[in-house]
Amino acid sequence: MKQYFETQRLIFRSWQEEDISYLARLNSDDKVMEYFLKKLSYQETIALYNQIQEEFTIYGFGAYSVEEKETGVFIGFVGLHNVTFEVDFAPAVEILWRLLPEFWGKGYATEAAIACLNYAKEELKLKEIVSFTSLLYKRSEHVMQKIGMTRIKEFNHPLVEPEHPLYRHILYKIVL
């Protein structure tokens, strides 16, 4: 298992096969997936796990498995992802986070995102990072603001049907 970086409370590490069950729990949680198109099945979670592993192989970065340093407990993932759908701000690297609800409200998403941005700048030598979410997902937008990102614009997500409530998104950016 490779450890990429850490904060005072969190460890960012590579994924292990035994993490799939934790990832499946995360992806099937009603609260976690409220602002996504749907919860993911176990098979879809395996596909996501494989996609994450592939991104690390291709790009040298991806969504890091995050655990509490004190307990060693999986709390979710935070990391970087290449924007692969057609949108006017691509090509771009986005920062993303997805944590289990029992770890919300502790400042973990903000702490983890700041650490990930620092890693992106210092180790990966990236120059700019974006993040986006549904206009409805205020908690995620609040994290974007807390980590110093600037609101750029609203846009229609090309992978969401126009009549869907999650169609309208908001884009943030930070120059590293």
How sure is the predictor about 92, in pLDDT bands with cuts at 50, 70 and 90? very high
The neighbour count for residue 16, using CB atoms within 10 Å, is 11
Q: What is the pLDDT of residue 13?
A: 98
Q: List the strands of the sheet with 150-156, edge to edge.
A: 3-6, 10-13, 63-68, 74-82, 93-99, 128-134, 168-175, 150-156
Query: Can you list the domains of the chain with their CATH numbers?
Result: 3-131 (3.40.630.30)
Sequence-ordered alpha helix ranges (H) in the chain:
20-27, 42-59, 108-122, 138-146
Q: What is the dihedral of CA 148, 150, 87, 98, to 10 degrees?
A: 30
119-173 tens-digit pLDDT: 999 999 999 999 999 999 999 999 999 999 999 999 999 999 999 999 999 999 9
pTM: 0.95
19-60 pLDDT, tens digit each: 999 999 999 999 999 999 999 999 999 999 999 999 999 999
Confidence band for 71, pLDDT divided at 50, 70 and 90: very high
Q: Is the pLDDT of residue 1 over 90?
A: no
